[in-house]
Amino acid sequence: MSKHIFNWVVITLAVFVSAYILPGVYVSSFWIAFIVAMILGVVNTFLKPILLILTLPLNIMTLGFFTLILNALLVKLVDYLVIGFVVTGFWWAMLFSLLVSALVFALQKAWR
């Protein structure tokens, strides 16, 4: 259980830092970043695998690039669901997803 809480806190920090770095992404508070991390986790756990299976031919044709597009679309979905989290465009959503992934990787390597 503590591993899940650790990952949640790391993702929250990555969301908060990414929103601070990218001018097209806005998070109103640390608690909103906490909620965004929770909803991103739920979306990535339940919705993303279904969408990856449904878009498998397109993903194969684009050599995996469509996964980046799918990640950006899921970030925009979280933007729609969470008040206080704003992503101004598709490209900011893609940069946000890439930066959050890189920060989560770096923070987990640094703390473990």
pLDDT tens-digit series, residues 38-75: 999 999 999 999 999 999 999 999 999 999 999 999 99
For the cut 70, the answer to whether the pLDDT of residue 1 exceeds it is no
Do residues 77 and 43 touch, judged by C-beta distance below 8 A? yes
pLDDT level of residue 111 (50, 70, 90 thresholds): confident
Could you give the C-alpha distances from 58 to 52, 53, 55, 74, in angstroms and in order? Answer: 9, 10, 5, 17
The mean per-residue pLDDT over the stretch 8-36 comes to: 96
Domain ranges for the chain: 2-111
Distance (Å) of CA 41 to CA 12, 50, 57, 102: 10, 14, 25, 16
High-pLDDT (> 70) share of the chain, % = 99
> What's the whole-number average pLDDT of the chain?
95
8 Å CB contact between 11 and 41: yes
Q: What is the pLDDT of residue 65?
A: 96
Contact 18, 103 (CB under 8 A): yes
**What radius of gyration do the chain's Cα atoms show?**
14
Place of tokens 């684009």: 62
Q: Tokens representing 70? A: 């799918």
Which pTM was predicted? 0.93
For residue 39, what pLDDT is reported? 97
Q: What is the mean pLDDT of residues 6-35?
A: 96
User: Which tokens in the block code for residue 17?
Assistant: 């830092």
